[in-house]
Homo-oligomer: A and B are copies of this chain.
Amino acid sequence: MTELAALQDIKKCPRQYVLAVNDALNVISGKWKLPIIGTLLFGKCRFKELQQNIEKITPRMLSKELKELELNGVVARRVYDSTPILIEYELTPSGHNILKVLDSMVQWGLDHRAEVMKAD
């Protein structure tokens, strides 16, 4: 079955569809998921680098969100046994693919803004 067919298929079942949407939603909702993924889209990062690139995030939140993203299979944690020890975070292939979803959201936002303008 092609992936397009799979999409058409799941659209016939509202419950499954909503659940699938929620899966994706869990990966990008919350205050910090998006900034983290956005930063990692530019390339792998160390903990400290992430903390510096994302304004105002505390180590507690960064640690917590990274763990969730790793559990969700969106971020990979790499430990290099050098001296000193080096830890880097990077997006998985799925993590990179989220860009498509984000693009569609931005496109909707632009369309929506145009639509609202028309109404006024």
A110 at interface (Cβ–Cβ under 8 A)? yes
Stretch among A61-69, A80-88, A100-108 lining the B interface: A100-108
In contact, B108 and A101 (Cβ under 8 angstroms)? yes
A86-120: CB near B (< 8 Å → 1, else 0) gives 00000011100110111111111111100110010
How many copies of this protein are present in the complex?
2
Least Cβ–Cβ distance between A69 and chain B, in angstroms? 12
Partner of A109, one of B24, B109, B115: B24
Residues of A within 8 A of B (CB): 3, 6-7, 10-11, 14, 17-18, 20-25, 28-29, 34-35, 38, 73, 92-94, 97-98, 100-112, 115-116, 119
